[in-house]
């Protein structure tokens, strides 16, 4: 999933609930149809929050999610495509 070419990257590292979802929505609104948004968070709750948000949002498709360790901290990456 990391091979997805993201049109935009949103960095919400260090921010906690509800900010990752709220800011994802804001960045998602600025996407063109077909584009993918990459969201990088450190909030572990963002895994279920962003998945749930994408499921409930008509024109959002969760392309992938992954966990990684970068610079000694756990990061959670989300890829959301705007379908229309």
Q: Which positions are catalytic? A: 17
- As measured in angstroms, the least distance from the Cβ of 15 to other proteins is 6
Instruction: Give the count of residues interacting with other proteins (CB under 8 A).
Output: 15
Q: Which is nearer to other proteins, 3 or 23 (CB)?
A: 23
Q: Report how far residue 14's alpha carbon sits from residue 59's, in angstroms, rounded to the nearest whole number.
A: 27
- Positions 48 through 77 that interact with other proteins (CB under 8 A): 53, 56-58
Q: Measuring CA to CA, which residue among 37, 30, 62 is closest to residue 49?
A: 62
**76 close to 20: Cβ distance less than 8 angstroms:** no
Q: Is 26 in the site for other proteins (CB under 8 A)?
A: yes
């Amino acid at each position: 999933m990391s091979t997805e070419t993201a049109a935009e990257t949103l960095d919400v590292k260090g921010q906690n609930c509800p900010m990752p979802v709220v800011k994802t929505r804001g960045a998602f609104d600025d996407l063109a149809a077909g584009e993918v948004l990459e969201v990088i968070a450190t909030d572990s709750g963002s895994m279920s929050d962003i998945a749930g948000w994408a499921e409930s949002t008509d024109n959002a498709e969760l392309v992938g999610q992954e966990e990684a360790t970068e610079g000694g901290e756990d990061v959670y990456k989300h890829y959301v495509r705007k379908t229309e």
